Structures are given as structure tokens and as C-alpha cells.
Structure 1
Amino acid sequence: MVNAADLLVDRVTKTYGANTVLDDISISVQPGEFMTFLGPSGCGKTTLLRMLGGFAEPDQGRIVIAGKDVTSLPPNRRDCGFVFQSYALFPHMTVAANVGYGLKLRKTPKAELQKRVGEVLEIVGLSEFAGRYPRQMSGGQQQRVAIARAIAIRPSVLLLDEPLSNLDAKLRERIRFELRDLQKQLGITTVFVTHDQDEAMAVSDRIVVMSRGRLEQVGTPTEIYNAPASLFVADFVGINNILDGRMIDATGTFARAETGFGALEGIGAGQAPGSAVKITLRPESIVVAQGTSNDGAGFPGTIQMAAFLGSTARYEIRLRDGSILKVAAPRGALLPPGSDVTCRWAPEDVRIVQ
């Protein structure tokens, strides 16, 4: 198979006893791309990352890095930098010694080693901390040391195993953007593992959504959010309204499905007429108007819950069949519970999936 990717996962399968952890996975990561593996605990994302780094071997399939088949090679013979969730810094070594550790193992001449350590510490903004020990640094600083150590060896691929999970929420949000900027500055092909959807959306060029050892969808953050390929993706990524329906037809630009509160149009593919389907609709896609409409252009309902959240108002609205819609409305006068309203949305904001 010919592929210009920096990293290629070709039909990889991994089982532990009767448990299939990875099931026929194929992914290509392009040069300079920031790709994120996203999914719940146990979906196989960390196992796949460890395989890329050489810490586990697939039962079937192959892994190619920079054009070289590395499937059976140990970690030290792969052109990868690995940042562990725990950072794995050596407590008895200074920051400079930690950063230079991989170079030392590769028998880099001392002058070159010192030069490269100085360069990467400057890149991550820690030049003045070269003589400190990890215990003398904050969590965010330790995280940058771990990244500096990984990039000091100038790897073809940088692998990151939930490196921000040990940071508090505000620091985590700041560091994720620093990490993204650094990756783009260096141009290193990067694979990042997280279960945090916001994190994945913020830093990724593309996201691989995984569930139970399988790929659910691969796409840009916009594609993953706006056009989920499966019910799992629609439910897992962000907040979504998921409603029951039955397919009517899909002969025009939009498919049509029948629900308990009326027929609606949306984007669907491959569902046979009469088949049971799920309808997904993001809360921010719903427009709420006070009062009920008689023009047939909206769906009447009653506000069950209303909350002012500063930048938005959040509602739960009960439709006439008892379905509940979650709504995120722009900031404005808050409509109280018990208000009769009409809900509207554009057909292109509706996805019909099975």
C-alpha cells in the first residue's frame, strides 16, 4: 500500500483473551497533522497509541511511520516521541537532564546535546528552569518539560497520552492552546489521546471517534459535530437532542421522518422507508418564539425548565407528544417555565441516523 502519510495504521487488530480491544483499525495521519483519538474509557484509544509507540504489538495488521514498517520494532527503534499521562519525569534529574535523556541514549555528542536541550527549553519557555528539579515546578511546567523531552530527539511523530489530565481546569484550558501553537510551530505530526470532547475540538485538525475498539467516524471537528456519522457520535460529542422517528422517504434534497410531534425534514442517507430511525438536533440550532404558531411552520411546546447561564439561556421544552427538547438560546429575556412557545429549526441542522 502506497501512502504519503507520516503515520499509517493498516488493518490493526488486538485481542486480550475473548476481548477484542481493536477491531480492524485503519487510519492515516498526514505530515504535520494534529490528530486526536477521542472516545470513552475502554474504547481502545490508549491501546492504539501504545501500539504506535511500540509498547504493545498488534495481533494483525501493520504500523508504518515515515515510510518504515515498525510493527515489530521496540520503542527505542521507532522515530517517535512519547508524552505519558504521568509525565514520567526522573525526579533525581534536573530539567536539562530530563530533556536530554533521549539524546543521551542515542549517544548524541555532548556539544550537540547541550545545544538541542537549550533550543527546546527556549521553545517551551523554560530556559531559566534548566537547573531545577521536577518537584520544584508546577504541573503545567512539568508538562512542558515532558513535551520538551519528547521533541528534543526530533521525532517524525509525537504521541501524547492524555498529558493534560493532571492539570486543573483553567490551566488545562490554557495549556491546550499552548500545545497546539507549539505543534504548529514545530510542524511535528502529532497523535493525541483524550476523552475530553472540548479538548479534542479545540486542538485537532481531525478527530478519530472510537467506541468498543472500532472507528465510529474520522473527520474535522466541524464534521464530527455538525454531521455525526452514527448515533454514538451524535450522542457522545457535545449535547444533542435524540428523538425517535420512522423514515418516510428520502427522494429529495432532504429525507423526511415521522415523529410523535409531526413530520420533519433532515439530512439522512441509506434509511429505508418505514425503518426506525433516530433524529438528532443540537440545542443551539433551535429557535424559540413566545406563543404558539398556527402557520404550521413550527412545533408548539411548553417550557418545563429555564436557566440563565450568562451568555446563553437554557431551556427544556416539552412538545405535544411528551418529547423533551434541550435548547440553548442567545442571551435575552428569560421565558419562565409554563410559557407556551413555538420551536423552529432549519432542515440542514437535523440529522437522521440509524
Structure 2
Amino acid sequence: MVKKMSGLFIPVLSVVLGLLAGAIIMLVSGYNPIDAYSALLYGIFGDSYFLGEAIRTVTPYILAGLAVAFAFRTGLFNIGVEGQLIVGWLAAVWVGTTFELPMLIHLPLAILVGGLAGAVWAFIPGLLKAKFRVHEVIVSIMLNYTALHVTNYIISYVLTDKLDKTNNIFATATLRSPFLSGLTDGSRLHWGIIVAMICAIIMWFILEKTTTGFELKAVGFNQHASEYAGMNVNRNIMMSMVISGAFAGFAGAMEGLGTFGYASIKGGFTGIGFDGIAVALLGANTAIGVVLAAFLFGGLKAGALNIPVETPIPNEIVDIVIALIIFFVASSYFIRWILNRINKKGVK
């Protein structure tokens, strides 16, 4: 029974252990963990504004997690999600600020172009992996920096005249809604959460219900056996990276068309793409798991902002808790070994 439930139980246990370890650290540091976690929960569920901001924070985490998880499920490690997100962000905003179209055309076009930009950016490491066996981790992590500086240059010297941000997107390209804003007392909640959920369903459908998904997973599991079975290994490697990059590009589009409404020069990475690795890990690289893990991460990130407001505890403590959760998830083999030993003793 333990083995059957381990896929769900171990991530949950990891979260609990992370919260307990975080509480111990707060106690040792002279802080009250009950006050901290109470402020954290209030920062998520305290009122409609906090709840709206929490859900808005969750949206890009879902998509970044899907991007990482899709690559993992097909035997690849896409560590370039951050760069693909940034490129998708700029591409979506470019469409949103350049064209004047009816909303039914403008908004979907901007979202799709954002996803396409992320896919194109991910195609580069996919191509090098497929044709020349260059490890995708090396290429994708270098492309993160390329994306950051290239997009900054385009914003400053192509889209504007040495300004630090673009114009705001047209109203016909925004994911914002007066209805959602009014419902959540002026929060930045937007319709991107629906897009993220649709993408989670798409990932599940591709991997679990299509021949293409079967081939992608087979190639990731054993390239030689897949090639012997008649599968096009190189094509599947590139396709996997392209789909993964599209999810990352959509994450950037949600930020550009929803949360901010513009693209600006960035002094560093957003961190969302790298956090997507932890989200995918905690979600066991499954669509539903990624969604649940993203809600946890997004909730912690949003709720952390309320901790220094109501308590003397620095909000960095939440980063420690998240790091501990990731640590326990990464130690899942050891946790599974302990549970198996306990289960065997119980049987005896």
C-alpha cells in the first residue's frame, strides 16, 4: 500500500517536513513560528485581494513547471526555461503594443506569439542535442543569459529610444479584467490562470493519450531501443524541447499581458524559470502534480510578503522553508527507503 501511495505521499511528507524544519529554525533564531505561519496564511487567504494576488503569482509557476516537467518526462533537462520565458514575455508584449486588432484576434495572437518565441528559443538546444549531441543543459543555461541581454537591448534600442520599458499593451491584448479586479478588491488577478490550466490538460493529453507522447517518452527512456523500433529519435528530441519551450513562452506571455502589461529592462533573472525546476520536482513531473506544487510555491511566495508586515520575522524565512521542502523532495529516495523499512517491519 505504501508503494502505491508513495508517488503522492512522499511529496506531501516532504512539505510537512520542510514546514517543521522551518519552524525549528525560527525557534532557534528567536522567532515564533506560529506567528509566522499565521501571517503567511493570512497573506494568502486573509481577504480577496491577497487571494487574487496569490492566484496571479501561481499562474507563471504552473507554466514554468510544465515546461520543466515535460522535458523531464521525455528524458531532457530544460534548464533554459528562464530565458524562454523572457523571450516569450517580450514577443507577446511586442504584439500587444504594435498591432491594433479586435480583442478576439489580438489577445490570442499575442499569447501564441509568446509561446512561439519560447519554442523557437528552446529549438536551439534541441537542435544541437539532436544533431551534434551537445548537452542541452550547457546550451540552455547559456541561452538564459543571451535571452536576458538580447531582450534588454531590443527594449532599449529597437522598441524604444533608450527607455527602460516599452509602452503599455493595448487594451485589446490584455489578460486583465475589470470583473476579476473588482472581485478581488483591485488585485492583478487575470485570466492567465485559465490558460495555465488548459496547458496542464494539454500536457497530460499529449503524454498520456497520444502516440506522439508515447514516442517522446520512449525516446527519453531509451534512445537506442526507440531507434531500433523505427522512431525518429532526433525529431522527437527537437519536438520535446519545442513543446517545453512553448510552455515557458506562455509563462512569459502571462506576465507581459497580464501581471505587468509591458516589458522592461531587467537587471537579472525573474527566477520563475528556475523555480519551475523545483515545482516540477515537487509535482513528480506530472501535470496535476505541477499544478498543485505551483499553488504551494505561489502561495508561499505571495503570503511571504505579509510576514514582515505583521511580524518581526524577515520574509527570507519563507525562502528557507521552500529550500527545505526542495531538499526533502530531493531526498525522496531516502524517505522511500525508510518507509519501506517501516512497512516491512509492520508486515512481520
State the TM-score, normalized to the length of structure 1: 0.21
Could you say which structure has the larger radius of gyration?
1
**Higher relative contact order (CA closer than 8 Å, sequence separation 6+):** 2
If each structure's strand is expressed as a fraction of its own residues, which one has the higher value?
1
State the TM-score, normalized to the length of structure 2: 0.21
